[in-house]
Amino acid sequence: MSLRTRTLRSVVAAAFCALLAQATDANAQLRSAYGCEGLEDAPRVASIEGRGGVFFRLRPDLQMTQPFSDEVVEDLGKLSRALAGRGTLLVYAPMPTKALAMPQDLPAEAADYGYDPLIAATVYEELMGRLRDANVATADLRTAMRALWPQAQPFFRADPRMSPDGARAAARAVAGIVRDRMPTAGGTRYASVSTGRVELASQHRTLMQ
């Protein structure tokens, strides 16, 4: 066998191994921890499965836009001023999507649906800035929820609702705004108290199953 023939066979073998490795990696990415298939095409709860069994709905979890027109922001500013005139502080807390609060759990295929975590975070922060420019006290729930990772998760894995940890983080963020904007309330204490465990049915998980 000539040296050229042996070299050609080595190149072909190397290329085959590379393709096999890519196919193996692709299959590993597509493999579901729960044997799920076709969730992205489900008519009522189109979803994708992320890392660690975290599920994201295509809408609104992977929605990047914040549909707040200038008129809405202006009206919130007017409402805030009107309430302030009566001694009431309006605190607006834009709820981040699950993908905004848990980007580390997104699967690679989220990009196939046009989702970009950096752009989504920028759009959310831009909305926060517009509200603050209108003098609306605004709580940054995204940052508060992101700070929970990796010790806790702000949303349930297979349900779109906030977890107890997420709810507490949101409450702390709102309490911080109250303390900053109402110094006369300095003597008021904030406390989050557990009232026990409650089992809630998950329609989202039932529909996926």
Is pLDDT above 60 for 168? yes
3-state secondary structure 53-108: HCEEECCCCCCCCCCCCHHHHHHHHHHHHHHHCCCCCCEECCCCCHHHHCHHHCCH
Q: What is the pLDDT of residue 206?
A: 76
Least confident stretch, 16-20, 32-36, 74-78:
16-20
As a whole number of angstroms, the distance between CA 111 and CA 56 comes to: 13
CA R_g for the chain? 24
Least confident stretch, 39-48, 129-138, 140-149:
39-48
Q: What is the pLDDT of residue 17?
A: 44
Q: Please answer whether residues 192 and 172 qualify as being in contact, where contact means their C-beta atoms are separated by less than 8 angstroms.
A: yes
Average pLDDT over residues 179-193: 71
Average pLDDT over residues 132-137: 94
How does strand 47-49 pair with strand 55-57? antiparallel
Q: Please answer whether residues 77 and 135 qualify as being in contact, where contact means their C-beta atoms are separated by less than 8 angstroms.
A: yes
Is pLDDT above 50 for 11? no
Neighbours of 93 (CB within 10 A): 16
As a whole number of angstroms, the distance between CA 164 and CA 156 comes to: 9
Q: Average model confidence (pLDDT) for the chain? A: 82
Is pLDDT above 90 for 149? yes
pLDDT in tens, 80-109: 999 999 989 999 999 999 999 999 999 999
As a whole number of angstroms, the distance between CA 130 and CA 122 comes to: 12
10 Å CB burial of residue 208 (0-12, 13-18, 19+) is buried
Q: What is the pLDDT of residue 14?
A: 47
Q: What is the pLDDT of residue 199?
A: 84
- Compute CA distances 141 → 76, 107, 169, whole Å: 18, 23, 8
Give the predicted TM-score (pTM) of the model.
0.76
* pLDDT tier for residue 65 given thresholds of 50, 70 and 90: confident
Residue 39: CA atoms inside 13 Å, Cβ hemisphere, count? 26
- The residue that leads in pLDDT, 193 or 111, is 111
